[in-house]
Chains A and B, each alone.
Chain A
């Protein structure tokens, strides 16, 4: 099993550009989520999904969109990149539609917006 995979590992964007961060898992997990990690802030939840076709906002959703058309994939779209979105992004998944299980994290995507 590959677990949770994220692409790309690194990305540099110019202000105003859009892009999609990819996240996939092969464990048939229902719950998937996106976080951003900034120094001194811990991980903050951006969006999450309790199953295919269902998404909801987390703590810091502005500037990001998600969709969940399949159980396996949960892409994160940056609509118009801003320097404030410079961060490390982690995708995670867990069994069932609840976060009360171990979260399996991807390796992260380091994004820089200039």
Chain B
């Protein structure tokens, strides 16, 4: 069965420090993988997507993610957190014609 697991429900970092949000997936074939962001009381916005072209994917607002097939991971990183990054982040896998969301990681930025 296809699934996606976000390993942390909450992550807190200080402003200016690196961000790491972890995502593992389970799939019987090479899936498409996405990260979406949801700011408070807003809809979801695409951060980046992996579709087998390159293993290191760059997204908006300085975020990037690396696809590691051997580890079945697709972790999201950013070198330096900004207060505006405080939001909930969702890792998504798309097996066949369905979309499966992780449960989300809420990112808190400490001043």
Contacts and interface: CB of A to CB of B under 8 A. Distances in A.
Contacts of A102: 34, 46, 49
A33 B34 CA distance: 16
A105 B44 contact: yes
A100 B98 contact: no
Contacts of B100: 45, 59
B99 A99 contact: yes
Contact of B90 (A42, A92, A107): A42
B77 interface: no
A53 interface: no
Given A99-B94, A100-B94, A42 B101 contact: yes
B32 A90 contact: no
Interface in B60-111: 90, 94, 97-104
B9 to A, nearest CB: 7
B43 interface: yes
Interface in A58-88: 58-59
A45 B98 contact: yes
A92 B100 CA distance: 13
Interface of A: 33, 35, 40-45, 48, 50, 56, 58-59, 90, 92, 97-100, 102-103, 105-108
Interface of B: 6, 9, 32, 34, 36, 42-46, 49, 51, 90, 94, 97-104
